[in-house]
Amino acid sequence: MAEKITGGINIAMKVPEHQYEQTVAFYRDTIGLKELSGKGPAIGFELGPNRLWIDRAPQMSQAEVWLELFTPDFDDTAGLLSASGVVRCDRVEELPEGFRGGWFMNPANIVHMVREPDAW
């Protein structure tokens, strides 16, 4: 299965309301990463070859990091992941109808977006 899945370029950080502004300021002002736009309301930053998107998550009590994985055939990969006992968790965040991807959790409960590269 490893041949079918590759690392994506997007990393999402879901941050509670009470930590959001300070977290954005850390990456923008303290670290000095280049700010990105285009996925509002999230605020993004260049993180080497990756993109870090910071999302306001008022329903959360602590921050979480979500990762992205690419696959050329989502349906095939989703079936293989499910057959391997990987938990699918599409309810964590709504995706557009017809989107060629879905949400999965690793054994440590880290959320992963598994999607076809052109799914957006």
Q: What is the pLDDT of residue 37?
A: 84
Taking only the tens place, the pLDDT of each residue in 52-71 is 999 999 999 999 999 999 99
pLDDT at 110: 94
Given a cut of 90, is residue 2 above it in pLDDT?
Answer: no
Question: What single letter denotes the amino acid at residue 59?
Answer: Q
* 92-115 confidence digits (pLDDT tens): 999 999 999 999 999 889 999 999
Show Cβ contacts of residue 33 under 8 Å, excluding neighbours closer than 6 positions: 27, 45, 46, 47, 52
SS3 of the chain: helix, strand, coil, percent, to 5: 25, 35, 40
Cis peptide before 96 (omega within 30 of 0): no
pTM attached to this predicted model = 0.85
Structural domains in the chain, CATH included, are: 2-115 (3.10.180.10)
**CB–CB of 19/61 below 8 Å?**
no
